Amino acid sequence: MKSKFKKTLLTLLASVTMLSAMVIPPPPKVNAASDVTVNLSDQKQVIRGFGGINHPVWIGDLTAAQRETAFGNGENQLGFSILRISVDENPNNWYRELDTAKAAIAKGAIVFASPWNPPASMTETFNRNGNPSAKRLRYDKYGAYAQHLNDFVTYMKNNGVDLYAISVQNEPDYAETWTWWTPAEMLNFMKNYAGAINCRVIAPESFQYLKNMSDPILNDSQALANMDILGAHLYGTQVNNFAYPLFKQKGAGKDLWMTEVYYPNSNNNSANLWPEALEVAYHMHNALVEGDFQAYVWWYIRRQYSPMNEDGTISKRGDSMAQFSKFVRPGYVRVDATKNPNTNVYVSAYKGDNKAVIVAINKSTSAVSQKFVLQNGTAASFASWITDASRKVAAGSNLNVSNGAFTAQLPALSVTTFVAELGSGGGTGSGTTYEAETDTTLTNAVVETINAGYTGSGYVNFNAATDAAIQWNSVYCAVAGTKNLKFRYALESGTRNLDVYVNGSKVISNAAFTATGAWSSWGEKTVQVPMIVGNNTVKVVTTGTEGPNVDSINVTAQ
């Protein structure tokens, strides 16, 4: 069973998937049938990140070096920004999750948790389809179970891990060796008990994105209010079932995450097979473009079919994931792009941190010449990184932009990521700047004028304390919606993280502010946040022992 190694029930589903993946494509065209148009002002979903699960109770913990490889974003690192962990039914095992979780957070990742079973004292056996030993949560223990999840949240926080979210149940509809939940039981818990959980709540984590598990939640106002993230797994799910119209209709203000998958199979030593590993990038493309998912989370980070080999090196499947995870960073927004401009060519595009990112997959057995056209934004040139049969996220050529367009050669059976700094025509106006020292409330922070280059009458220096904060009290918006929030900051070395709150709600955890090189060298970081009509409060809070010096924020419409 997958609780130890992999899902046996899904072997047939994976085999069917592989048959379709291995069909020889029709003869490719050398020249693109159409251009890719990237519209930087046509925004889709905010990306939370990419990652996988660490499960030390079942397969052993990641080593210190493997944590660096997974969550670092340098050369030969995966750039993962999400870690999933398990809520063990035995609290005596909870300590085993701490080391990797703390290391991930230190690298700017967010951590969420999923349970497979409640404590044994809360469960009972019942007859399910002729199986008299099936297990479920006792109906009189729903409140106690909510407290059990709260206890895990508290334990992790008290030990240096501030969980981003916690799930109610891993795969409640695929529980041969763990705990079953019916849609009605999940609805009851979400409606009447989940509101007591002191963390963002993920539900229902159906193993195959079966909508019968989540439709009742979306159709019940109280259950929906208690759900922060709709989580789903994509084992055997067909691409034409990735879209979820009811979520688009009812899920305003909620996130949509793909919280577990391996693809296209979990065969032994399959992680480095090419072009099979290219299917991972294609699956990610479909999850992001067809499913509008905001997170993509693999099963085991380190396994013979996973992004990391058992020896801690990055596999070809990992390279495919890294073409997204290293460059499409948390808080970036997917923007509209021609998704299938040519036979076997698939494209998605993103923007954030004043960058444009384009990921192009060529499943053809011949190179393709592809033209890309930018709309509502300008760039001078695009850098490129390539993974194919012989390359592993290798730097490619720089491509100059002329008249708002560039043409690139997409190698056979490859994935290429293009990254550019956006110019002044990046699709947004100049916006409104709010100084950090004016009309703000400071907590364990002070206004300084020591380091040159600031604007206004000074900048704010966080005192060396956790939970130090700056709050801008009157950020005005004429139109509600997602806004670009650009920080002007300085940081001599290292990386420091801030939580971002809007109107009292945390909207971004552990936003990473990287070094600008000197305290008098001012850089910028842009994130996307929701705002209401009228005055808004914006607050940043240190999550380590320090933060960068902050000069101002600038708010623009997207």
Q: Could you say which of 89, 97, 205, 260 is catalytic?
A: 260
Q: Please state, in angstroms and rounded to a whole number, the distance separating the CA atoms of residues 422 and 556.
A: 15
Residue in the block written with tokens 């090419």: 274
Element holding 133 (H helix, E strand) = strand 131-137
279: annotated active-site residue? no
Residue 24: Cβ-neighbour burial (10 angstroms; 0-12, 13-18, 19+): exposed
Give the distance, in angstroms, between the CA of residue 35 and the centroid of all CA atoms in the same chain: 29
Q: Please state, in angstroms and rounded to a whole number, the distance separating the CA atoms of residues 371 and 334.
A: 19
One-letter amino acid for residue 486 of the chain: K
124: annotated active-site residue? no
SS3 per residue for 21-80: HHCCCCCCCCECCCCEEEEEEEEEEECCEEEEECCHHHHCCCCHHHHHHHHCCCCCCCCC
CA angle, residues 227, 230, 235, in degrees to nearest 5:
150
Q: Please state, in angstroms and rounded to a whole number, the distance separating the CA atoms of residues 280 and 282.
A: 5
Q: How far is CA 319 from CA 75, 255, 313, 424, 457, in A?
A: 12, 26, 11, 33, 47
Q: Which two tokens stand for residue 528?
A: 């996307």
Q: Could you say which of 97, 171, 276, 546 is catalytic?
A: 171
24-30, long-range: CB within 8 Å, 24+ apart, which pairs? 25/343, 25/344, 25/363, 25/364, 25/365, 26/343, 28/342, 28/343, 28/344, 28/364, 28/365, 28/366, 28/368, 29/342, 29/343, 29/368, 30/366, 30/367, 30/368, 30/369
> Which segments within 265-323 are labelled E, that is strand?
295-300
Helices (H) and strands (E) counted in the chain, each on its own, are: 11, 32
- State the number of CA atoms in the 13 A half-sphere of 461 facing the CB: 14
Dihedral angle sign, alpha carbons of residues 429, 435, 439, 445: positive
Q: Please state, in angstroms and rounded to a whole number, the distance separating the CA atoms of residues 40 and 350.
A: 8
Q: Please state, in angstroms and rounded to a whole number, the distance separating the CA atoms of residues 89 and 477.
A: 46
Q: Please state, in angstroms and rounded to a whole number, the distance separating the CA atoms of residues 195 and 111.
A: 20
Q: Please state, in angstroms and rounded to a whole number, the distance separating the CA atoms of residues 26 and 343.
A: 8
Q: Please state, in angstroms and rounded to a whole number, the distance separating the CA atoms of residues 410 and 343.
A: 13
Q: Which residues are catalytic?
A: 171, 260
